[in-house]
Each structure stands twice: as structure tokens, then as C-alpha cells.
Copies of this chain bind each other. A is one copy, B any other.
Amino acid sequence: MVEDLQKTDMSRLRRYHERGAFDRPTVYGILDAQPMCSVAYTIDGKPLVTPTLQWREGDHVYWHGSAASRTLRNSTRAAVCMSVAILDGFVLARSGLHHSVNSRSVTLFGTASKVEDPTEKLEKLRHFVNGLFPGRYDELRPDGPQDIKATTVLCMPISEGSAKVRTGGPVDDEQDYDLPIWAGVIPVTTQVGAPIADPRNLSHVGVPDHVRTFTYGGQSRTDPNQGG
């Protein structure tokens, strides 16, 4: 039995609540489709938001950074907010007000905690790399204790938050449909280009499958029905 995300005063959708979703398959699908995220902290009472990459394991979300980062150091056991947003298209309506974007987004609230145990930390980083590029981590020069020490891995349970999804065409005021104005959607997608090999790659090293078959931004890479 997988519970929905908590609808709280912070996470409930005040506007367009019909676009909101609290079920884990929807939330996980968006998190898994887009590693890029924004994490917001409060530093000395003021907001700070930084772009970073997130990855999900079960019902937790992870992100990482340099152990030297003051932001990450201060954010442990502090309230954070994470946002993942995927733009799917521009919605052009017959009046300015009804213009919109088609998008999928997730906002999560919670308290960040550090993954302290080096073995667990390494396992999380391994999952991060392998989640994007299956099997890659195990082919790399192994991380040493100094590499692990230099990295901070933060973690937050996925419990309070919501997803928001808009799809479809414009919705105009009824009387505006008679106007001779082009309305519709301009779709936007993410395109993965041909890989660019490092000139210093050894000559016999070919492009691995995890690079050749890399996809991004579309479907969930992991089964969204597999909860925690």
C-alpha cells in the first residue's frame, strides 16, 4: 500500500487545483524524467535557490555537491524545497490572459539530511550515475575515500509535496472563439544529440551502450509504479 503525498498548507494547490496530483506514480514519473532541479534554502532568513541534479531511490530524493559548499553544509536538518519542472509547450490563446504553458512539475517540501556513512554515500552516488547511464559507475575508476569525503550527499523523504500537470490546447473565453486569431500549442521537447568523444579517449574504446541509447526528458526511466 503506497500512500499519496501529504496535502498540507504548503503543498496543496490553491490555483488550478484540478491540475494537481498527489499520487506517487505521477510524482515519481516527473522526478525520473528530469534530473535537473532547483533546490531552495533559507539562508539568514533569505531565499537561495540553486540548480542541481536530483535522483530518486524509492520514496527518497537525493542531490549532491561539494563538501566545501556552505549552502549544502548549512542546509542539513533545515527546511528545503525542491522543484522539478519540464516544459512541454507554449499554449497560445486568443487573449493574453489565457496564454499558458504545458508542463509537468513537482514541488517537494521537507528537511534535508546528510548521508553520513561512506559506504552508503558511495552506494547513493553509484545509483545516481547508473540511474542516468546504466552500468557506467561500475566501469569507472573507482571512487577513493577522498572522492567520497569531498562529496556531500543530501537526502529528503518524498512525503509533502505535489505534482502539477497541464496538457492540451488553449481554453479561451467562449465569445473569443469567433475571433480570427490563430490559437494552439507550440510543442517543446528535449533532443539528445550525437555524443562527442573526448579527444583523449584511447583509440580502441568505443561508444558504450549507455551512451548510445541515452534518452532524457521523456518517459520515466524507472517504473513509476514501483514505490518505496
Question: Which residues of A does B touch, CB under 8 Å?
Answer: 10, 14-15, 36, 38-43, 45-51, 53, 66, 68-70, 79-83, 85, 87, 89-90, 92-97, 99, 101, 103, 105, 107, 109, 125-126, 129, 132-133, 136-137, 139-143, 147, 150-151, 169-170, 173, 176-202, 204-208, 211, 214, 216-217
| Whole-angstrom CA separation of A100 from B194 in the bound complex | 17
Q: Is the interface of A mostly helix, strand, loop or mixed?
A: mixed
| Whole-angstrom CA separation of A80 from B50 in the bound complex | 13
Copies of this chain, count = 2
Minimum CB–CB distance from A113 to chain B (whole Å) comes to 16
Chain B residues lying within 8 Å of A214, measured Cβ to Cβ, are: 90, 186
Partner of A201, one of B99, B182, B205: B182
| Whole-angstrom CA separation of A49 from B161 in the bound complex | 12
| Whole-angstrom CA separation of A179 from B202 in the bound complex | 8
